[in-house]
Amino acid sequence: MVDQTQATGERFGFGWQVGGVPPPITVPVEYHLHAMRAALGAPAFRGRILDAGCGEGIDLASVVLSDNCLAVGIELSDGGILATKGRIAGSTRARLIQGSLLSLPFPDRSFDGAYSYGVVHHTTDPDRAVREIARTLKPGSPLLLYVYEDFTDRSLPWRAALGAINSIRGIVSAMSPPNIRRFCSAIAPLVYLGCTLPSKHLTWAAGFPYPATQNPTMASLIPDLYDRFAAPIEKRYSASGTRRLAEQAGLRVRHIAQMRGWVVWAEK
């Protein structure tokens, strides 16, 4: 039987290696963390910060520049480690450790804040992952978290569409990473013409869900489609489920917002 955690790391890592090792980031980039903050009205970080599942390292490299803080990124995949090393090269404020969110290699109360974008719902135990992050936070420290939505508050056609896409994902995610990438490249023109362009110009299409709406070009859509179809594990949440995810870790929820999924600002 395939180890789902290992397979998840391999598939995401492959996606982040496409194009080779990226150059260092020397000017902050407005990326996932910026979007979470804007949706939640959350302030800048201070002190020592945890990037829980830093992926390709864009947020990790940027937060130390924008917030003038120290940040530690933890990442499971080899590909993510290589990409992140390139982006934080030369930084004295960013550190990188390879490991799992389900068993963080840090003592209790190690960090003054943390964020995790689109990671815990790809683990075998999201509740445990959030508890592990919370364990490493000092009292009063913030956590910003993003998880996929489950469409329970959307219409029946949208729920049916999600079910159909998940059925396809179950087949595609079993392919090799190069073949998943080829599949996403093949369907990208259809998604771009059928969803992305209408969402930019037609009012009725503005509510199309991620990743159909955010990409400026068809080329930028391909890696987002890869992320959507590659993961063997994917859990989704309602607004109340997102609140419960934070609260079961002993966190106090400050605010929840819709952002192509759910973002939550909680505190230890």
The answer to whether the Cα torsion of 211, 244, 140, 122 is positive or negative is: negative
* pTM of the full structure: 0.93
Alpha-helical segments (H) within 41-176 = 58-66, 78-88, 126-135, 156-172
- What are the Cα distances from residue 109, in Å, to 52, 68, 94, 186? 15, 20, 19, 47
Structural domain boundaries of the chain? Answer: 4-150+235-267, 174-230
- Contact present, 37 and 104 (Cβ < 8 Å): no
Q: Is domain 4-150+235-267 annotated with CATH 3.40.50.150?
A: yes
CA–CA distance, 139 with 207 (Å, rounded to integer): 38
Burial of 186 (0-12, 13-18, 19+ CB in 10 A): exposed
- Contact present, 134 and 164 (Cβ < 8 Å): no
CA atoms within 13 A on the CB side of 256: 18
Of 221, 208, 177, 147, the C-alpha closest to 78 is 177
The answer to whether the Cα torsion of 36, 37, 39, 42 is positive or negative is: positive
Q: What is the CA radius of gyration of the chain?
A: 18
Each of the 268 residues of the chain gets a pLDDT tens digit; together they read 457 888 888 999 999 998 899 999 999 999 999 999 999 999 999 999 999 999 999 999 999 999 999 999 999 999 999 999 999 999 999 999 999 999 999 999 999 999 999 999 999 999 999 999 999 999 999 999 999 999 998 889 889 988 998 999 999 999 999 999 999 999 999 988 888 888 777 777 666 766 666 677 888 889 989 999 998 899 999 999 999 999 999 999 999 999 889 999 999 9
Of 16, 118, 142, 136, the C-alpha closest to 67 is 142
CA–CA distance, 113 with 263 (Å, rounded to integer): 16
